[in-house]
Structures are given as structure tokens and as C-alpha cells.
């Protein structure tokens, strides 16, 4: 009898000479070499679903902010969170099996290792972004899912956060903590309704121009707008860079990564002085704000700024609701967070800051340990997590005055407005607009909360990135020997200096970050640390 697992591996053979790795964002590389990986991820998703008693597992086909010719895939756990680390390792092993027979043998080995009954029903939920390669790669995933005898549910085009939302809704729909309706209209209804409640009658001043990176966020935002209050009562949104008809324009001179990296607005931006603007990335899970002042100077309001804005607002709501005695709020950052942002949270907001290694899964994990955990990477990817005990305390809390009730109602609405399964650019955007409306702030007032320290990020190409080992949430190098001492010596020479070097998660390079009191000092420090890294990398 034919072996369906070996057959599907034979149908989608692995190219020779390529080693795949499940990184912080799943598998991601040139789309033309991903067919075998996609089919095998279909197999892994089916096994993971069975290991969890038939719960729905998500598969998202996307390469986010990468160029149009790339693609990728990541698996999503039942509550919309990242794949368990142990299964990332299994996925990497599966992707690198040489022959169809090896694939089949490993599939059965996993089943045996985790006592998985292969007769258990399995459910796999799939979404994809708008890349030209998406349809072909979807068919490879479906081949893998069907070969494993699992039931696929293809949602077609979705933002990455929408796929995470669908997975969480499907797995909680028959429980007391049902997350929402697992349909696209269900997504728009949940977040638009929460947005209206969170505004609490406050007026939003001015309009918002949203650059959608010519990705899937464009059509989805256009759909979401239909559910929001009319612009004269709510938010007037101008959608730009939403051309999904030309997949080759995805992320080209637009999108969150372009704005963050180049520190300038997309060339297509037609906004005027002090107009609020924001950019999504290609799969709409990152968000950065920015504006040009009356002197045409560009100002970026990145993930650090969003984190401080949201933490300040939620902290006020907790206090004004009469909950500050029982709930503690904290902020989670990575080493890339600007030192001025960290200082503002600790000194002005009087909140704790945790620092984790780079990668959303690390931030999410740390935030989940707090009552209310606000986490954002500087690149604009982030969300807020409320613990189960916190949600219970908020639900039970009896306000003692009309003012407390008002704050409590807004806090409850914000909980519904925030996509707690994953960073969601559309949900985060609505949250930022709510905060600005309540504070009666424009972008200038937001920018004025603190002054960013000038910083520089450089990339040093090395022959082997694995020789660079870090500790202290990637802020210190322990290998090669002696290198941290040299970096520390350079840092001491500049005012408010800070610098670190860490191996890239995706290429043979080391990223060097430096900040200091002035632009010249930050640039000089980055250059000197890059030279130290280069010398160590070629030694």
C-alpha cells in the first residue's frame, strides 16, 4: 500500500544544498525553494493538532516586510501564540530530511515520541498574504495537510494577525472565554465595536494617512473602515500604498520597515505639516507612526513610542478605576529600545521594565508573566497581554464613583480592542487613536514626552555569525573572548553611551547598535564597535 507521507514528500522534493531553519518568524527565504518546506509544515501542523487533542493549528504563508520574491511560513498555536519551541526544532529537522522515506520515518517517530494517535482528527487553519508565490505554496501546504489525513480550512488572503485571531476564536468558541467569531466580519465587528466603546464619546482631531506597504493590510483596512463610525463622528482614514494587483510593488519604498530603517516617509506620502501618518508592514503585524513638522522635518514615532503612550494611558485607567492596589503594569523591551524610552518608563511613568532577547516570542513570554504586560519592539511589532487573574479582577471590580466607572468602562473596551493573540497593526492603530483622543494630543505632544537619544544601527558581514555568543538579553558578548572589554572601553569615551553587538537571526552578519548624547558620538561609537566586530569576525 502506498505511503501518503512519502508520496507527498516525493511530489515536493527538497532542493539540494539548502539548510532550512525555523527562525524567530518561521521559515523565510526565496519563494522558489520553499515547496518542500510548505508540504512538510502541513505534516507538522497535523501532528501538532493531534498532539493537542485535535485543536486547530494555524499556518500563515507570509514573508512580512521581506522583498516580493521571498516568502515564508510559520505555525500558530491554539491561542494564537507562537509555535512551542520544541516543535520549532522538530519543524527544522523535518524540513531538512533528505529523502521521502526519511520524511515518512521522522513523521512516525514524532508520533511515537509524543504518543500521538494518528487516527485522532486534526484541524489546520491556513491564511496567506498577497505575494505572487502564495497560491503555489498554499497548494503545497494543502498537499501536506491532506496526506496527513487532517482537515484544512483555507481562509484565503488574511493579515497575519487575522489568522492568529481565527485560530484563537476556533479553539475558544465553545468555552466561557470565547474570543470572538472566527470569520472576517467577526474580526471587523469585534474591533470596531470595541473602538467605539473605548473612545467613550471623545472626538478624534484631524485625519490619519495609512501606508499599507502594497500588502494585504490595504484591502483589509478598507474593509475595516466600513465598520468604523462615520468620519464626521470618528476617524477619517486615507489609505495609501494599497496596490495588491502588482505583487512586485510589495514593501518597495513603503511600509513600516522602510520608514523605520530610512527614517523618512514613503516617497508616495502626500501628507501635510503635522498630519498624523502611519505605516503597516507587508502582513500588517507591525505599525509605526510619523509626521513632518512645520519645518518639513521628519519625526518617527516607533514601537518604543507606542509602548510608552499605551503604558501611560493604561496606567492612568488602572489608577482612575481604583485598581492600582491589586494590578501591576509593566513594559517589556529589547536591547534595541532607545535608552530615553526606558528612562521615561522607569522615571516618569514609575513602571518596571523587563529586557528580553530580540524576537516577539521572548517579549510575549515575559509580558505574559505580568498582570498587564505592554510589549513592543522598536520596529513596531507588539501588543498588550492581560493575565487571566487580571481579567477576572477587572470583571469583578465595583467602581465607587461615576469617574471610576467611566475609566473602568474604557479599560474594559481597550481589553477588547487589543488583539492579545499577537501584535496587530490594525488593532494597535485604533488603540493609538483612542489614546490620542483621550489625551487630546496631536503628534507633536506625543513626541514631546521625551527626546530620543541619537542612535545608529550597522550591519557587519562575518564569515560565521555563530562564533558571536551573547548574554544579558543580548546586551553583552561572551564570545569571542575579550571582545566585550574592547566595546566597553569605547562606550566609556562618549556621553550617555550604550552599544551592543548581536548575531543576526537570518544572515551571516552581526548587528551593531550604538547610542549617545549626540549624533556624531553615536555614529562614531557605532563605527568603532563595528571595527572591533569585523576584526574579531575575521580572526
Beta bridge partners of 240: 211
- Residue-range domain boundaries for the chain: 4-157, 186-300, 303-427, 455-537
**65, HSE (Cβ side, Cα atoms, 13 Å):** 20
Kindly indicate whether the domain formed by 455-537 is annotated with CATH number 2.60.130.10.
no
Give the integer Cα–Cα distance in Å for 57 and 78: 6
The full DSSP string for 124-160 is: EEEEE-S-TTHHHHHHHHHHHHHHTT-EEEEEEE--H
Query: In the prediction, which pLDDT does 261 show?
Result: 84
pTM of the model: 0.94
Find, among 274, 247, 228, the residue nearest to 429 by Cα.
Answer: 228
In degrees to the nearest 10, what's the CA dihedral of 187, 190, 191, 197? 170
Which residue's C-alpha cell is 551571516? 508
* 236-240, strands of its sheet edge to edge: 236-240, 207-211, 276-280, 287-292, 298-301
Query: In the prediction, which pLDDT does 234 show?
Result: 80
- The CATH architecture to which 186-300 belongs is 3-Layer(aba) Sandwich (3.40)
Query: In the prediction, which pLDDT does 506 show?
Result: 64
Fold of 303-427: Alpha-D-Glucose-1,6-Bisphosphate; Chain A, domain 3 (3.40.120)
Which of the listed CATH numbers 2.30.42.10, 3.40.120.10, 3.40.50.720, 3.40.1350.10 matches domain 4-157? 3.40.120.10
Instruction: Mark residue 407 as left, alpha or beta (left: phi above 0; alpha: psi -120 to 50; beta: remaining).
Output: alpha
Query: In the prediction, which pLDDT does 141 show?
Result: 98
Give the integer Cα–Cα distance in Å for 142 and 46: 11
pLDDT digits (tens, 9 = 90+) for 101-123: 999 999 999 999 999 999 999 99
SS3 per-residue string spanning 486-519? HHHHHHCCCCCCEEEEEECCCCCEEEEEEECCCH
Query: In the prediction, which pLDDT does 2 show?
Result: 85
pLDDT tens, per residue, the chain with 539 residues: 689 999 999 999 999 999 999 987 899 999 999 999 999 999 999 999 999 999 999 999 999 988 999 999 999 999 998 899 999 999 999 999 999 999 999 999 999 999 999 999 999 999 999 999 999 999 999 999 999 999 999 999 999 999 999 999 999 998 888 999 999 999 999 999 999 999 998 989 889 999 999 999 999 999 999 999 887 778 899 999 999 999 999 999 999 999 988 889 998 887 888 999 999 999 999 999 999 999 999 999 999 999 999 999 999 999 999 999 999 999 999 999 999 999 999 999 999 999 999 888 889 889 999 999 999 998 999 999 999 999 999 999 999 999 999 999 999 999 999 998 899 999 999 999 999 999 999 999 999 999 999 999 888 988 888 899 999 989 999 999 999 999 999 999 999 999 999 988 767 789 999 999 999 999 999 999 999 999 988 76
pLDDT digits (tens, 9 = 90+) for 192-216: 999 999 999 898 988 999 999 999 9
Task: Tell me, yes or no, if 104 is annotated catalytic.
Answer: no
Which residue's C-alpha cell is 497593526? 425
Give the integer Cα–Cα distance in Å for 500 and 531: 13
Question: Dihedrals φ, ψ of 46, to 5°?
Answer: -65, -40
4-157 with 186-300: one CATH topology?
A: yes
Query: In the prediction, which pLDDT does 539 show?
Result: 67
Give the integer Cα–Cα distance in Å for 33 and 13: 10
36, 64, 321, 407: which is the annotated catalytic residue? 64
Amino acid at each position: 500500500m502506498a505511503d501518503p507521507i512519502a508520496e507527498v514528500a516525493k511530489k515536493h522534493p527538497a532542493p539540494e544544498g539548502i539548510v532550512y531553519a525555523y527562525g524567530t518568524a518561521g521559515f523565510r527565504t526565496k519563494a522558489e525553494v520553499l515547496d518542500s518546506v510548505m508540504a512538510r509544515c502541513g505534516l507538522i501542523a497535523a501532528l501538532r493538532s493531534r498532539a493537542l487533542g485535535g485543536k486547530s493549528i494555524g499556518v500563515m504563508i507570509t514573508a512580512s516586510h521581506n522583498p516580493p520574491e521571498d516568502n515564508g511560513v510559520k505555525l500558530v498555536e491554539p491561542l494564537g501564540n507562537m509555535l512551542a519551541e520544541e516543535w520549532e526544532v522538530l519543524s527544522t529537522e523535518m524540513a531538512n530530511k533528505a529523502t521521502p522515506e526519511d520524511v515518512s520515518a521522522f513523521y512516525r517517530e514524532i508520533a511515537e515520541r509524543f504518543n500521538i494517535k494518528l487516527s485522532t482528527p486534526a484541524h489546520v487553519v491556513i491564511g496567506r498574504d498577497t505575494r505572487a508565490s502564495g497560491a503555489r505554496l498554499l497548494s503545497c501546504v494543502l498537499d501536506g495537510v491532506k496526506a496527513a489525513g487532517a482537515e484544512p480550512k483555507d481562509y484565503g488572503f488574511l493579515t497575519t494577525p487575522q489568522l492568529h485571531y481565527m485560530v484563537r476564536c476556533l479553539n475558544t468558541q465553545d468555552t466561557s472565554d470565547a474570543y470572538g467569531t472566527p470569520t472576517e466580519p467577526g474580526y471587523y465587528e469585534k474591533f470596531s465595536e470595541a473602538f467605539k466603546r473605548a473612545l467613550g464619546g471623545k472626538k478624534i482631531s484631524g485625519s490619519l494617512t495609512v501606508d499599507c506597504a502594497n500588502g494585504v493590510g490595504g484591502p483589509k483596512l478598507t474593509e475595516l473602515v466600513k465598520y468604523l463610525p462615520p468620519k464626521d463622528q470618528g476617524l477619517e482614514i486615507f489609505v495609501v500604498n494599497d496596490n495588491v494587483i502588482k505583487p512586485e510593488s510589495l514593501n518597495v519604498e513603503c511600509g513600516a520597515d522602510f520608514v523605520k530603517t530610512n527614517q523618512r516617509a514613503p516617497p508616495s506620502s502626500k501628507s501635510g505639516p503635522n498630519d498624523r501618518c502611519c505605516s503597516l508592514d507587508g502582513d500588517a503585524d507591525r505599525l509605526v507612526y510619523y509626521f513632518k513638522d512645520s519645518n518639513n522635518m521628519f519625526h518617527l514615532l516607533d514601537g518604543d513610542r507606542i509602548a510608552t503612550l499605551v503604558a501611560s494611558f493604561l496606567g492612568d485607567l488602572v489608577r482612575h478605576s481604583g485598581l492600582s492596589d491589586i494590578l501591576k503594569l509593566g513594559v517589556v523591551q529589547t536591547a534595541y529600545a532607545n535608552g530615553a524610552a526606558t528612562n521615561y518608563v522607569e522615571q516618569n511613568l514609575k513602571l518596571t521594565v523587563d529586557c528580553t532577547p530580540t524576537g516577539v516570542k521572548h517579549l510575549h513570554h515575559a509580558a505574559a508573566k505580568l498582570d498587564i504586560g505592554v510589549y513592543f519592539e522598536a520596529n513596531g511589532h507588539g501588543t498588550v497581554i492581560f493575565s487571566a487573574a487580571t481579567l477576572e479582577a477587572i470583571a469583578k471590580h465595583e467602581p465607587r464613583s461615576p469617574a471610576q466607572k467611566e475609566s473602568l468602562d474604557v479599560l474594559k473596551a481597550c481589553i477588547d480592542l487589543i488583539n492579545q493573540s499577537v501584535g496587530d497593526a490594525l488593532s494597535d492603530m485604533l488603540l493609538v487613536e483612542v489614546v490620542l483622543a483621550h489625551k487630546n494630543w496631536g503628534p507633536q505632544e506625543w513626541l514631546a514626552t521625551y527626546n530620543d537619544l541619537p542612535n545608529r544601527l550597522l550591519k557587519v558581514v562575518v564569515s560565521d555569525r555563530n562564533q558571536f555568543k551573547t548574554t544579558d538579553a543580548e546586551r553583552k558578548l561572551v564570545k569571542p573572548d575579550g571582545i566585550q572589554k574592547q566595546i566597553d572601553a569605547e562606550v566609556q569615551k562618549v556621553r550617555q553611551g550604550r552599544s551592543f553587538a548581536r548575531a543576526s537571526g537570518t544572515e551571516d552578519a552581526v548587528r551593531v547598535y550604538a547610542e549617545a548624547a549626540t549624533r556624531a558620538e553615536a555614529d562614531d561609537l557605532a563605527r568603532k564597535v563595528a571595527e572591533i566586530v569585523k576584526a574579531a569576525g575575521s580572526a
